[in-house]
Structures are given as structure tokens and as C-alpha cells.
Amino acid sequence: MLKQFSPDKMLLTPFGITAEHLRDLGKKAVLTDLDNTLLAWDELDATDEIINWFTLLEEEGIKVMLLSNNSVERVERIARRADIPFIARAKKPLAKNFQKALAELDVKPEETVMIGDQIMTDILGGNRQKLMTIFVRPVKETDGLATKFNRLMERFILKQLSKQQKLEWEESL
């Protein structure tokens, strides 16, 4: 049962992931969460680091899409500046919008990475769809109200996972 919550990798930040790393793993696309994965949940605008990372990946042939449970207004604001597609109100970990994202990007699950800061939404949802999952340390230690319960469950799950396997934060893939 815990396997569905287990990320393939745990990274301190997603920004060390390069197109070369992804190609070496046979990946063609990245689905990424937004809040506390790339940007603090209470910040409004994309940073230059986010825009540059998306640009570098896409210039190197890696497709990128934001897949967020947040509002259309919030996600669209970032996606437009970055000029990338997005799905807001994704209802992760449910399958529907993961499948929609794969179809829109025209990629297979085995060619895709899901990056996120929450075990209960990003990692569980990505694992259910047979994507490579990368769990990243949250950008900000505080969370919005809706995330607080998930963080309690996440701590319990990570504790249980650490009894079964070695969990280590890494710098890059």
C-alpha cells in the first residue's frame, strides 16, 4: 500500500533537473505542480528562475505543463508569463486531469515526470498513472489551510516509508 505514496526521487529543488537528465531517463515531458513546488503558495508572480527553467527545458525539447489544484486565475497568471500550457483545478490525485495532460502533450506515461511537493496529491496521482515521480522540498514551510491536513498525513507516510527504504534528499537527478 505504501508503494503508491513512494516517490522515485526526492530533490531539494526542481531547478537542478536538466533536459539532459530527463533525456537520459527517456523522458519527454514534465508535469509540475505550482504552489510550494516552484513558487511559494502566497506569492503571485513567477520568478525569473521559474521562467528560465521552463525556457531551458522547452528549448531542449522537453515539454512542460503546470498541473495544479489551485484556481484558474492563479495558475494562468504564471503559465501565461512562462508561455506554457496548464491545467488548473486538477483535483489531484484523481486520474482525469493527469490523463488529459498526457493527451495534450502527446506523451506516454513512461515518458513523463510528475514533480510536486505533496505526497498526497502530486506523488500519489503521478504514481497511479505510472509516471516517474519527483518529490521536492516545499519552497515555503507554511501552507494554505487546505494543505495542512495533507501535510499531517504526509509526515506519517514519510515516517512509514523511511522504515522500509532509505529516503534521502538529493541535489539533482
Domain locations along the chain: 2-164
- pLDDT (0 to 100) of residue 142: 62
- Domain 2-164: CATH architecture, name and number where available: 3-Layer(aba) Sandwich (3.40)
Question: At CA 29, angle to CA 102 and CA 153, rounded to 5?
Answer: 75
pLDDT in tens, 66-80: 999 999 999 999 999
Alpha-carbon distance values, 106 to 35, 53, 62, 100 (Å):
25, 21, 12, 10
Q: Name the pLDDT band for 152 (thresholds 50, 70, 90).
A: confident
Lowest mean pLDDT among 113-117, 135-139, 156-160: 156-160
Q: Mean of the per-residue pLDDT values for the chain?
A: 91
- pLDDT (0 to 100) of residue 12: 93
Question: What is the rounded distance in angstroms from the CA atom of residue 92 to the CA atom of residue 142?
Answer: 20
Query: What's this model's pTM, rounded to 2 decimal places?
Result: 0.88
> Do 117 and 135 contact (CB within 8 A), yes or no?
yes
